[in-house]
Chains A and B, each alone.
Chain A
Amino acid sequence: MSEILLQIDGREVKAEEGMTILEAAQSAGIYIPTLCHHEKLEPYGVCRICTVEVEIRGRTNLVAACVYTVEENLVVRTRSEKVDKIRKMLLELMLAHAPDSEQLQDLAGEYGADKDHFEKEPSFCILCGLCVRYCAEVKKKNAIGFVDRGARREISFIPEIASKECNSCKECFSLCPTSYLQAAFVLTESLAFSRDSSPTALKK
């Protein structure tokens, strides 16, 4: 693996070919916020909180650090007016769903994000996908997945699999930034785990 020299926030950073900006930054002790990232999982690049400014071959771009592979002479800025503006609004968009999330609140403080900027939405999930991906890639059980698309996108447990696997696992629970996952599990358990869905069975 050849070595790549790049610049992050004015510092020279040595990285390996194939590394992402996030990996390179972490190896140099430079912090970039993330939400949907997990070292055991393939980078997903959907929360966009890790957006950074990059300059290469005379052009400036905004990219997601967790999925952008490093290049020789890349100049990276992890904070800037643009980057901060983006992170602030992304947080406000997510806080509309999960205003009580500790992770979101911590980041909100740093960027001056106002949890009341947008009208509250009743769904608490920010669709980071950590639960779905962990179950698929690490546990390989696929007990939970996504359904639908766009604003209707949701996580959904597969009752037949979840009823067998989840109670003895629950490793994804600690990953959820909003605790919606636990609520979804309890709901699925009470509504769909029992094979007999008559009212008496549900009462048990």
Chain B
Amino acid sequence: MPRINSPAELEELRKGILSKRDPNKPCITLCSGSACHASGSEEVAASIEEEIKKQGLSAEVDFRKTGCHGFCERGPIIVIHPEGICYLQIEPKDVPEIISQTIKEKKVVERLLYTDPSTNEKIVHESEIPFYKNQERLVFGSNGNIDPKSIDDYLALGGYSALVKVLSQMTSEQVLEEVKKSNLRGRGGGGFPAGRKWEECRHAPGEIKYVIVNADEGDPGAYMDRSLLEGNPHSVLEGLTIGAYAIGSHEGYIYVRQEYPLAVENVGIAIKQAEEYGFLGENILGSGFDFTVKVHRGAGAFVSGESSALMTALEGRVGEPRPKYIHTAIKGVWDRPSNLNNVETWATVPLIINKGADWFAQFGTEGSKGTKIFSLVGKVNNTGLVEVPMGITLRDIIYKIGGGIRGGKKFKAVQTGGPSGGCIPEEQLDMKVDFDELSKAGSMMGSGGMIVMDEDTCMVDIARYFLDFLSDESCGKCVPCREGIRQMLKILANISEGKGKEGDIERLEELSEVTGDASLCALGRTAPNPVLSTIRYFRDEYEAHIKEKRCPAYFCKELISYYIDPKKCQACMICLRQCPAEAIVGSKDQIHVIDQEKCTKCGTCFEVCPPRFGAVRRLSGEPVPSPVPEEARIIVRESKAK
């Protein structure tokens, strides 16, 4: 790869790359993000490569393994260009037909298309599918067209043109002003204006400054950063370099959590390729600006994603937060000015530079400009990563894009902001999603996890789940967080196990106040949020658990029982065979009875009993009827042969 020494040389290179790419040549893109990988995209890829060779089409069709397309529910996904034909849930056995029908014959394979559940119509083009149509994929959209291991793919789409603009046409102050003007707020959770942070770091005393990418993405259920870093690492590198220029930093770090090996691999490849071309290193594009980037892996601790903790980890010490009264922008890594931003924040920067702050500001609301990538997961039909303009309603995200609640169940709440956030109930579904509206409702934007919950979700259990998570992840340094969470968890465990007492809710609120007020870092200060928000909107569930020892959602193991209705059981043996605890007695002539001593409350019998029988009932807050005596269990059936 030649070293590019000037903007003009980059344009030559780009022209060269584009000249070798015919936009009308068929190209098969296969989503190869981690989720599709888990669904078998590697086998599909092998099958595609083989089939292309077999059908003698190697010169006529390109094949590209790209980053995450976002529609994770329906992976593995193939999009065929230039038409934009989208095929979902592809298996290796579908490949020969795709190649011969669609590539060769230009015919669509109907059965692989998306079917609109309400109209039953088949949709051919990716852009028409409601999941995609209602999004605004400014930052994430390129994922579908880039092989993350190829910097040329990024260049072909116009990549690194923002860096050229910055280094050859703008001063560092101008870059800073543009980012400030855009009102870009941090996408990692805090929502702090990025431009102001950059400015503080730029003006902080000291020659050596650091810029850092926080790719520690620890919120359970959130994987946007992973998909961005895996699928389009250069967008992050470009943004980081532009930020370094604006701030006056020459050393960058990318802190990636250890649980993301593919992201570590792809970002490592991207850095090497960028260095080879000279987009990183000394005298970038002949501008005289030097900048190098190092990757630092995490080792499995959520709290190390907190900015001061992350910086401590970069120093090789245990990643525990420090009191942050002096901003890390002034005293960060090695006590030097350090600017830390989230992956998505950095990836948005090239866009702002290329299209301008005014263009960016046309998206979003007054206080929250631009778009946000959310991981829409849980009890929703179209699980995946969605990018929407700030200000879209929760209802539109969950129903228009998400396709509503799975299994036809009833919506109950949507949780945002991870363990620092809260649950938002049905009454607030028309909320316009942005930083401030979410905070007003008792939650927060957080990194973008959006967990949809239905009638089967127990809200007391959700509060317990998050506190459990935090108690495991708290660094344990300060008393209010370590001990406050410990005591709150005890109370919540008691409540969900049927040992709740009058006054427990008030005790939770008391502990929440002190933990929230006195903790050293944001983990402790926001730990009470899931508890407080579930009490705020679902107090009745808490009271049912405490006063009636009943779990309205039939979830809490100690408060529920499974019971086979002897009048409905047809002794079909399905539940008996599938019970993992072998707790069901019966035979093909004897109605089945659950041995309550052995039952582990896993719910399998409830799931597998044929709907036409519907014999398994869930009970809560009431005693289980005694089993029918053995003699009465014999089923007399009409004999089949007459």
Chain A residues in the interface with B (C-beta under 8 A): 44-48, 51, 62-64, 67-69, 82, 85-86, 89-90, 93-94, 96, 118-119, 121, 126-127, 129, 146, 148-153
Contacts and interface: CB of A to CB of B under 8 A. Distances in A.
Interface of B: 301, 303, 318, 323, 325-326, 471-480, 482-487, 490, 510-511, 513-514, 517-520
Contact of A151 (B303, B471, B478): B471
B471 A94 contact: no
B474 A46 contact: no
Contacts of B471: 150-151
A47 B487 contact: no
Given A51-B517, A89-B510, 5 more contacts: A46-B477, A62-B518, A126-B479, A150-B476, A153-B477
Contacts of B484: 93
A35 B519 CA distance: 15
B325 A127 contact: no
Given A64-B323, A118-B487, A127-B482, A149 B514 contact: no
Contacts of A126: 479
B108 to A, nearest CB: 54
A149 B511 contact: no
B476 A90 contact: no
Contacts of A153: 475-477, 482
B479 A67 contact: no
B164 to A, nearest CB: 41
A93 B323 contact: no
B325 A63 contact: yes
B536 to A, nearest CB: 21
Contacts of A151: 471, 474, 476, 482, 485-486
Given A62-B517, A62-B518, A46 B487 contact: no
B325 A149 contact: no
Given A48-B520, A67-B323, A89-B510, A149 B476 contact: yes
A67 B325 contact: yes
A118 B485 CA distance: 13
Nearest to A94: B479
Nearest to A54: B325
A113 B82 CA distance: 72
Contacts of A146: 318
B323 A48 contact: no
A47 B476 contact: no
B445 to A, nearest CB: 22
B474 A45 contact: no
Given A64-B323, A67-B323, A90 B479 contact: yes
A46 B478 contact: yes
Nearest to B487: A118
Contact of B483 (A44, A68, A69, A94): A94
Contacts of B325: 63, 67-69
B301 A149 contact: yes
A150 B510 contact: no
Shortest 8 CB-CB distances between A and B: which pairs?
Answer: A153-B476, A93-B483, A150-B474, A67-B323, A46-B478, A89-B514, A150-B476, A48-B518
A153 B478 CA distance: 11
A85 B475 CA distance: 24
A86 B518 contact: yes
Given A69-B326, A89-B511, A47 B478 contact: yes
A25 B513 CA distance: 26
A197 B441 CA distance: 59
Nearest to B326: A69
A89 B544 CA distance: 28
For A48, A69, A82, A119, the residue with the greatest tally of chain B CB atoms inside 10 Å of its CB is A48
A62 B519 CA distance: 10
Contacts of A51: 517-518
B478 A150 contact: no
A118 B519 CA distance: 19
Nearest to A51: B518
